[in-house]
Structure 1
Amino acid sequence: MGNSYSDEEISEIHSTAHYEVVTNRSLPLDYHGIFSLMDDIFTHLLELTTYISHRFIHFVENLVLQDVSWCSEDSGVNPAVLEDCPSSSTSYIGDTSLGTPGTKASCYRNESLVNKKFKVIETYYSYWCDPLIFQGLTIPLFGLRLAWRWALACCGYSFYCIRCAQARFLSITSRVQKTLRGSSDDIGWLQHTPEMATVEDGTARFLGMLECIRNGEHTLPNSFVYLLIPGLFSNHGPLYFVATKRFFSKMGLACHIAKIHSEASVEHNAWELKQYIEELYWGSGKCVMLLGHSKGGVDAAAALSMYWSDLKGKVAGLALVQSPYGGTPIASDILREGQIADKETRRIMELLICKVIKGDIRALEDLTYEKRKDFIMKHKLPDNIPLISFHSEASIAPGVLATMTHIAHAELPWLPLFKLGCEESYDYVRSRLQLPVVMPISAAMAVSALHLQLRYGQKSDGLVTCCDAEVPGSVVVRPDQKLDHAWMVYSSWWKDSSKPDACEMCEALLTLLVDLRKMKQQERERAGN
């Protein structure tokens, strides 16, 4: 059998194979790197094997056609005549009486020879060109390719699991670090901010005024309305500011306790206070002096910051008593996102505040460092209003931790009181109708203050650190007496006559506030002249 391909056809075949296998089919490396490269190599090997098998089958087919043509010429059979012969008339094969060349019998005899040739060629063709042979060549490559892809998938899944584990580990590490770090970077941020105004120490003046008040010199004028603003959870403390209000009322001063929902957000209470102040101003014709304790001071400062255009000329001054103006680490550590068990802790607080107390979780959330930073940067306090910041330090002595020093009293409102002629007898009857209520507030505040001292190294009253209670641009009062966060608003059953009580403290603060107002007015008059 001769090869029917010329040199030009062979070169064309090689160039085509080279173009298809190498040039056209080669893919650039993708991000899988060596894995993608190996997958491409297996793909190229399969394509090359398929291409060679197709070419070889085509080559054998051409050889068969050439053998058929050669057999026809060697037997003297005209291909045109062979096409006219019946394909299934085998009864004439071997009949020599019809063997004249060119006749029909000769055609059948030659057909028998051709059929024998075809059987030999068909056997040769089926042996060499059977597709199973080439499938036997390609099956190992398919297996290798499948095995490689399976290994690649396993490696990819392993890398995915490693990345997930790494991300999980980093997340846990970040949560642990954030939990351990707590509020270390946030405490005292007001003093670390350059644009914040400096504070002035007014402790000496305050102590002098407090000594005068204890000696019977009460100089608090009646030309103002004094508004006491309670703090968080005050609605559930019926004794909140009660003794202080009665103390001022006995001196003939107009004193009120703001009836606001203390468990509401700061912005909501700011709007309520704005309306409350306007009602007092228009009802009495007097300016209002504000004294806010804890969150009440924050609510009052927010009212002045947000609605100063409406309250200008109606508010004479503001004293913030133990108020977390910059934030408190207690609220931040409870509600900080990204720490361990942050979602569970928030659910518990939402259950307690929203369901049990019927309040708003924003009341506590607004006291976090994050919320306070955002609010203070947006709303600035007015510059021309007298401000006082009062903060204290709770005692962490073992005696305070072991005992319950605060025992408050509750009145029996359902029993009618009748005056028996003199004020002394009325007070005596009222005191008999007061029941002692055990309130271990001092012990709880001492434990909290000890916790803040050990964890952050900061002095506090149990809830608010001293540096976070100092309002920029205010006069700061730092008493030397150890006072916890609840001391200023709850009266004690046992009183030490040698030390000032909460009522005298509040009077001294408001007296200092009135004095600051006079000084600012004098400064404005000098500047005007």
Structure 2
Amino acid sequence: MGDLCISGDVTNIPSTSHQVRHESSKYYIIERHTHHRKQVNCDAVSNTSLLVNSFEFCSSVGGIITSLVTLTTYLRHRLIRFIEDLVLQDDEGCSESLAICSSGPYLRSSSHSICKFDGEGCSSSPKFYIADTGPGIRGRTLDMREELLVNTSYEITKTSYSHQCVSFIIQGLMLPLFGFRLAWRLALASLRCSFYYVRCAQVQVRSITSRVCKTLRGSSDDIGWLQHTPGMAPVEDGTARFLELLGKIRNGEHTLPNSVVYLLIPGLFSNHGPLYFVGTKRFFSKMGLACHIAKIHSEASVEHNACELKQYMEELYWGSGKRVMLLGHSKGGVDAAAALSLYWSDLKDKVAGLVLVQSPFAGSPIASDILREGQIADKETRKIMELLICKLIKGDIRALEDLTYDKRREFIMEHKLPEQIPLISFHSEASIALGVLATMTQIAQTELPWLPVPRLGVEEPDVLQAGCQVPVAIPISAAMAACALHLQLRYGEKSDGLVTCRDAEVPGSVVVRPDRKLDHAWMVYSSGKKDPDAPDCSEMCEALLTMLVELGKIKEVC
């Protein structure tokens, strides 16, 4: 039969169309891989520039490891792309030999069959239109289609397998890098932890060193601070006049006027010490003088006692119409001075003068050493003192805290003593001889309900009546001597056992420095061993008040 010319209607062969559809899918896969390869090449260029920047600015080991990982990832992509390019080149060679459209719109076979390819692009399905010129053309066409499908599936499978192999190899190469990076981070974490513990140890060592230094230094920098403070008024030595007046008093010459009321102000823990100022009050009362002992809570704070003293002095003034002359011992002198500093506008016409006897006006080294913050066992010591003062004695810890150098410095700088008030500062030095350590000081008397007293020749012993007073003596002088020795050895300062001589001097006052060795408790408690040739504490208080009266007259004239 002759050739069949295609001019009108054509017959659509499904098998040929199915073959061309697979061939179109193959070309689409090739184009997709080509497009993906271009995108990966662009990513590779950007990764290369990123790698260069990383090596330029990376200065740590962690940055170098990150750069190595980036480089490995880049090499993996390049190797995958290289294998894909080889596979795609083989695919393109096969496609060129099998492409129908490469030589024209018509393909002539050996049997003179003519087929037409209607290709409208990759998006539309290609169709084959053939004119069957022989019975063998259809079989060869089917063989070509099957061969094309097998080659395409084989190439796709080969490409996927190559990707998996390359990925597995690259991941195996990257494991050491990730392991090294993990080891480096663990090493850095261990190093940071070690530095942290070393730093904590340094802080602890510095804290302990600071505490030890502060404990050993104690009050060395605080003793006598008031005398070195600029702007403070100088003191005047009145010891000679005091000794002269004391000699006259021992000869029976008493010149204290009855125109004032004498108020004795006890010190710390006086509420628990019977006979505190009792002998002096009795001595003044025998001379016909109006004398009172201030009934204040001695274990309260300085400001609290100052307010109570202000009310007490106003009551005495309005009750008697006479001005009040103050004599305060130890913390009592500090309380009285605080009352004058805080309420001078209300008391300036009611107070005639103030004598401070062994008062820690500038502070006490004993109180400061006990309550100093930042020293060894400071919290434990404070808790012990709070237990003793607050729980046992029912007092206030501020009573002791207000006598430290820090609190006294703060109060004195904020509240000045008035210059118009006559002031006398009395301080003494305790004896540190070995014989004083055995001295027993009588401080109280107690009543015993009964006490059997046997008598010889009498069957039944006599029984003392209830209310019999028996003196109680404790070694206060021995304790003061031990404290004075401690302050002398540690700070090289003279003291009465609790207050140093320099801290007891009030700026602008007349200072009395007796030549006798007197401890802190001698001026208020009588000793069991009395020297008849030496003045007692009552006579010394009278001499101090007599001197204060003279000083007040001098100030009134000036």
- Bin for the TM-score computed over the shorter chain: 0.7 to 0.9
Pairing partner for 2:51 from 16, 21, 37: 21
The corresponding residue for 2:149 is: 111
Report the Cα distance in structure 1 between the residues aligned to 2:100 and 2:148, rounded to whole angstroms. 7
The corresponding residue for 2:388 is: 352
The alpha carbon displacement at 1:98 in A equals 7.0
The corresponding residue for 2:497 is: 462
- Note if contact 2:449-2:468 (Cα within 8 Å) is conserved in structure 1: no
RMSD: 2.9
- Note if contact 2:496-2:518 (Cα within 8 Å) is conserved in structure 1: yes
SS of the residue corresponding to residue 521 of structure 1 reads: helix
For the pair 1:327 / 2:350, whether they are aligned, the reply is no
One-letter amino acid of the counterpart of residue 111, structure 1: L
Rate the CA distance shift 1:73–1:100 in 2: closer, same or farther, 3 A.
farther
The corresponding residue for 1:512 is: 547
Report the Cα distance in structure 2 between the residues aligned to 1:27 and 1:211, rounded to whole angstroms. 95
Residue deviations 1:416-439, cap 9 Å, x none? xxxxxxxxxxxxxxxx95421112
Rate the CA distance shift 1:362–1:25 in 2: closer, same or farther, 3 A.
farther
Report the Cα distance in structure 1 between the residues aligned to 2:476 and 2:348, rounded to whole angstroms. 38
- Note if contact 1:328-1:463 (Cα within 8 Å) is conserved in structure 2: yes
The alpha carbon displacement at 1:391 in A equals 0.2
The corresponding residue for 2:130 is: none
Rate the CA distance shift 1:393–1:279 in 2: closer, same or farther, 3 A.
same
The corresponding residue for 1:92 is: none
Matches within 5 A, 1:78-477: 100=138, 103-127=141-165, 129=166, 131-401=167-437, 403-410=438-445, 412=447, 434-477=469-512
Report the Cα distance in structure 1 between the residues aligned to 2:448 and 2:255, rounded to whole angstroms. 33
SS of the residue corresponding to residue 467 of structure 1 reads: coil
- Note if contact 2:80-2:163 (Cα within 8 Å) is conserved in structure 1: no
Report the Cα distance in structure 2 between the residues aligned to 1:99 and 1:304, rounded to whole angstroms. 134
The alpha carbon displacement at 1:210 in A equals 0.4
SS of the residue corresponding to residue 461 of structure 1 reads: coil
Rate the CA distance shift 1:202–1:99 in 2: closer, same or farther, 3 A.
farther
SS of the residue corresponding to residue 495 of structure 1 reads: coil
Rate the CA distance shift 1:199–1:117 in 2: closer, same or farther, 3 A.
closer
Q: TM-score, normalised by structure 2?
A: 0.81
Pairing partner for 2:93 from 63, 70, 86: 70
One-letter amino acid of the counterpart of residue 215, structure 1: N
Report the Cα distance in structure 2 between the residues aligned to 1:508 and 1:413, rounded to whole angstroms. 37
- Note if contact 2:441-2:475 (Cα within 8 Å) is conserved in structure 1: yes
The alpha carbon displacement at 1:132 in A equals 1.6
For the pair 1:45 / 2:45, whether they are aligned, the reply is no
Residue deviations 1:238-278, cap 9 Å, x none? 11101111111111111000000000000110111011111
The alpha carbon displacement at 1:502 in A equals 0.5
Return the index of the structure with the highest Cα Rg.
2
Residue deviations 1:394-446, cap 9 Å, x none? 00001002x1231234265999xxxxxxxxxxxxxxxx954211121000000
- Note if contact 1:68-1:118 (Cα within 8 Å) is conserved in structure 2: no
- Note if contact 1:390-1:478 (Cα within 8 Å) is conserved in structure 2: yes
Rate the CA distance shift 1:106–1:187 in 2: closer, same or farther, 3 A.
same
SS of the residue corresponding to residue 439 of structure 2 reads: coil
One-letter amino acid of the counterpart of residue 217, structure 1: E
Could you tell me which runs of 5 or more consecutive residues in structure 2 were left unpaired when the two chains were aligned. 1-29, 102-116, 127-134, 451-466
Report the Cα distance in structure 2 between the residues aligned to 1:65 and 1:187, rounded to whole angstroms. 98
- Note if contact 1:409-1:493 (Cα within 8 Å) is conserved in structure 2: no
One-letter amino acid of the counterpart of residue 286, structure 2: K
The corresponding residue for 1:526 is: none
The alpha carbon displacement at 1:26 in A equals 6.6
SS of the residue corresponding to residue 469 of structure 1 reads: coil
- Note if contact 1:98-1:106 (Cα within 8 Å) is conserved in structure 2: no
One-letter amino acid of the counterpart of residue 372, structure 1: R
Rate the CA distance shift 1:27–1:371 in 2: closer, same or farther, 3 A.
farther
One-letter amino acid of the counterpart of residue 69, structure 2: L
Report the Cα distance in structure 1 between the residues aligned to 2:324 and 2:506, rounded to whole angstroms. 20
The alpha carbon displacement at 1:38 in A equals 1.1
Report the Cα distance in structure 2 between the residues aligned to 1:84 and 1:13, rounded to whole angstroms. 33
One-letter amino acid of the counterpart of residue 184, structure 2: W
Residue deviations 1:178-237, cap 9 Å, x none? 000000000000111111111000000000000000000000000000000000000101
The alpha carbon displacement at 1:73 in A equals 2.2
- Note if contact 1:387-1:513 (Cα within 8 Å) is conserved in structure 2: yes
Report the Cα distance in structure 1 between the residues aligned to 2:61 and 2:198, rounded to whole angstroms. 23
For the pair 1:57 / 2:61, whether they are aligned, the reply is no
- Note if contact 2:361-2:504 (Cα within 8 Å) is conserved in structure 1: yes
The corresponding residue for 1:497 is: 532
Could you tell me which runs of 5 or more consecutive residues in structure 1 were left unpaired when the two chains were aligned. 30-36, 86-96, 416-431, 524-529
Report the Cα distance in structure 1 between the residues aligned to 2:146 and 2:360, rounded to whole angstroms. 118
Rate the CA distance shift 1:400–1:284 in 2: closer, same or farther, 3 A.
same
The alpha carbon displacement at 1:158 in A equals 0.7
The corresponding residue for 1:421 is: none
Residue deviations 1:72-100, cap 9 Å, x none? 22334779899989xxxxxxxxxxx9764
Report the Cα distance in structure 2 between the residues aligned to 1:121 and 1:355, rounded to whole angstroms. 91
Rate the CA distance shift 1:364–1:123 in 2: closer, same or farther, 3 A.
closer
- Note if contact 1:99-1:109 (Cα within 8 Å) is conserved in structure 2: no
Report the Cα distance in structure 2 between the residues aligned to 1:319 and 1:11, rounded to whole angstroms. 101
Percent identical across equivalent pairs? 66
Report the Cα distance in structure 1 between the residues aligned to 2:76 and 2:475, rounded to whole angstroms. 94
- Note if contact 2:54-2:63 (Cα within 8 Å) is conserved in structure 1: no
- Note if contact 2:422-2:551 (Cα within 8 Å) is conserved in structure 1: yes
The alpha carbon displacement at 1:120 in A equals 4.8
SS of the residue corresponding to residue 226 of structure 1 reads: strand
Rate the CA distance shift 1:14–1:115 in 2: closer, same or farther, 3 A.
closer
Rate the CA distance shift 1:384–1:108 in 2: closer, same or farther, 3 A.
same
Rate the CA distance shift 1:477–1:121 in 2: closer, same or farther, 3 A.
closer
Report the Cα distance in structure 1 between the residues aligned to 2:349 and 2:448, rounded to whole angstroms. 39
Report the Cα distance in structure 1 between the residues aligned to 2:204 and 2:554, rounded to whole angstroms. 60
